[in-house]
A and B are shown apart, each in its own frame.
Chain A
């Protein structure tokens, strides 16, 4: 059987333009199905009352009822408009200000714009020809016409029009009621209306004075049934009821000929209700509130406006299907570019797959498994478009009837491309393509050995991330090709492949560093390799041949390099290999002639530089910098070789290869630390503490002595100034200057000890102490951290100054503060002084190992708190900055010719980035020529050798 041509969707339609206008009253009446006349909503049975705001002719929301206009049940009926005939017209609050302008610019007698005929003619021409924005023409017209004393057409004098927000207009200090406004506006001829920014057919100014109010369909303001069985009406419905009620009362008053003041009160009340119905956030108008609870009601404007309004919440951004969210956890067993997806999620999220002759049997099996057994399927879409839900009951039958051309929505399976995302999504690297690996548990698993979390800025302390499953073959291909995690992990677009931006996680770095210094018994080396191997791996340890480099002997430890060590407890005569040999197992043979100087011991002649020859690490100790460097070399050399051999586009392959190697190397590092152990605890800090305490004390004492002298001297000079009997600005300023100078000197002096202690630590490194290994190998932390923990907290700063209380010698500030605050001292534990003392000023002598005393602790917390506050502000500010930037660049695309265009098709750049290079994908342009030449030379030599 030949499958039917797959259905091609109709191409999307484009909105060419949208015209806005004001609804004329006739049109409101014409589109209305009901005139709403009674404020009652439901009768005793809970059935909508005819002529009320819930009239069933305006649509239905209750299941079981049918719309009396279109006859359709709830859900099908789109809803229909109704209307309210206002007993007296009211101003539309959003147009009131414009109306004021129109009134000022026109004549109350003849309705003409108060400008000479020629000018009007000229403005009209500008409007019709679209020479400049109508807005600016109207503004100019109003500005010129409102200053005229009398009308150039009929000679009538111009009255004084004043406007009181939001809906009151006065003429010569007397209230101009909306009826009069309306009849005035009606007089304005069509030709004059145009130049005032209105339109004779689409927006006559008098239509902005409401005589009829449209009542939106019930479907637009559905009521909710609470758990208690009560009905809660929508805010708009409440407001409409108010309007109808007041309107009815006003109508009765008019009919019964009530006294004028009463009518005016009711009229104003009607205006108030209409105003708040449209916009409930107008300044000067009391906010309309719920009868219970007092929450402000949502007007029409509030439905549309702002971040939570219809546009930004529902139109510019939408909720999506086929997505999942869960906590992330690391998994060192996962391959790079794969993502562990919980089975629970895989059973819910599906991939549509079209049935063909070739996959019929496979898909039939999935359907037979049903929705609960993994791997199964949830839906079948027949060729006629009907959707069948697979259940335990019907699965056999559905499977039986499955035929080519149907679509099976099968569970997510291993290897399916998915998108994985973490907020804030600031980057390409924040949403990447991964391959699925379904696993038990409830968290998403990120491959950890090569740290796939970098671009996401994720950690595993409770972070949650989102998963999206592409729903068409096209989308699947795009996710795979364009969003490939491997590429963006190695090359963030920003640096144009300058640097490979990924290396194994911290633990693995420590492991690799130690491994490169270790001698390992041959047996254990193989065990390690066996541990690195994964199920079904390309890597097979039994094929690896490790040549022992030495045999263990009693004095072996004395013969090796001073930084090397022996793992485990080998017996004499046991063969040993180096960790470097072990690492070399994973490096390709063509990686040759690499020399990278490390950071751990760059001065060491033998092992300060890592040397790789023909894929073997000959010598050198690894650290973060080196591992990073090796990754870079792998990628660049591989790609360069391919290019030199004329094999075009090596970029995907190179990335994949580098990550493959990184995964293995990283795992080896991890296995190694796990096996031999690595810890940093009090003991390590104690060792450092005991070794350097005295020296550190000395450094501190020296600095304190110097600082004390500075303070004493400053104090003396300040006293001198204070005791002068003149009282003027210059004295105060002089005092302040002295204080500032002293402070900055003291600060500099007291900031030194920590730096000196750090230098001391740096100069006396002990690379067998984990407290050193961690920062020095580049895994995590810094010497500063170690110094703070073991020896000295150092000077604390708040906003760049030493902590202090109210400023003393500035009298004007003092006056205010003296009554309710400490002055002249930081805490009451100190004597008053003009310049805070050493400890008082936040100098922390002790490290965390010894413990901080009370004052130190408090001041340290103060400066710690500053950091937290700053971080909060920074993220908020930079988030807003980012949003502003993104919204400007949002609609820019690169067209087929490499030009950047915006959504209106304007050209922004003639060539993307001015050089048409996408830094994320470039290879040809801007590569490191020297480097490539080197590699090309190598390749040529190699080939010659072979010949």
Chain B
């Protein structure tokens, strides 16, 4: 890995939408229920993704695989859009 990025720089970058980690099992359960999907269906995000690295640093601990990330971003078609990703460990 190259040099560490300042978490604040990453998270506040204009191209990085708002990320929020959800680790509470019940909360995750509820969201999955609401979406009508299982965890396996959801798009993934790796633990070494710059945003996850930055968020872990902020939290002061590692974010474990299996957590959900709630991403809120601006969409040209739908205004504000909320999407979810599952945290997974990267391949290799």
Residues of A within 8 A of B (CB): 132-133, 136, 897, 899, 901, 905-911, 913-915, 917
Contacts and interface: CB of A to CB of B under 8 A. Distances in A.
Interface in B36-53: 36-37, 41-43
B1 to A, nearest CB: 18
B15 interface: no
B77 interface: yes
B92 interface: yes
Interface string B37-73: 1000111000000000000000000000000000000
Given A897-B36, A913-B78, A917-B77, A908 B92 contact: no
Q: A901, A907, A908 — which one has the most chain B CB atoms within 10 A of its CB?
A: A907
Nearest to B43: A907
A914 B41 contact: no
12 contacts: A132-B91, A133-B92, A136-B92, A897-B36, A899-B37, A907-B42, A907-B43, A909-B83, A910-B83, A911-B78, A913-B78, A914-B81
A897 B43 CA distance: 17
Contacts of B78: 911, 913-915
Q: B36, B78, B83 — which one has the most chain A CB atoms within 10 A of its CB?
A: B78
Contact of B43 (A133, A908, A911): A908
A interface, by DSSP: helix, strand, loop or mixed?
loop
- Nearest 9 A/B pairs, CB to CB: A915-B78, A914-B78, A914-B75, A914-B81, A915-B77, A907-B41, A136-B92, A913-B77, A914-B77
B75 A915 contact: yes
A133 B75 contact: no
B75 A907 contact: no
Given A913-B78, A915-B78, 18 more contacts: A133-B91, A899-B37, A901-B41, A905-B41, A906-B41, A906-B43, A907-B37, A907-B41, A907-B43, A908-B43, A909-B83, A910-B35, A910-B84, A911-B78, A911-B81, A914-B78, A915-B75, A915-B81
A897 to B, nearest CB: 7
Contacts of B92: 132-133, 136
Contacts of A908: 43
Nearest to A897: B36
Nearest to A140: B92
Q: A897, A909, A914 — which one has the most chain B CB atoms within 10 A of its CB?
A: A914
Contacts of B37: 899, 907
B59 to A, nearest CB: 25
A340 to B, nearest CB: 39
Contacts of A136: 91-92
Q: B36, B41, B77, B78 — which one has the most chain A CB atoms within 10 A of its CB?
A: B77
Interface string B72-91: 00010110010110000001
A130 to B, nearest CB: 12
Contacts of A911: 78, 81
A49 to B, nearest CB: 54
Contacts of B84: 910
A917 B35 CA distance: 18
A915 to B, nearest CB: 3
A143 to B, nearest CB: 13
Nearest to B73: A914
A449 B48 CA distance: 60
Nearest to A139: B92
Contacts of A906: 41, 43
A347 to B, nearest CB: 48
Contacts of A907: 37, 41-43
A907 B36 CA distance: 12
Contacts of B91: 132-133, 136
Interface in B2-22: none
A897 B36 CA distance: 9
Contacts of A132: 91-92
B57 to A, nearest CB: 25
Contacts of B75: 914-915
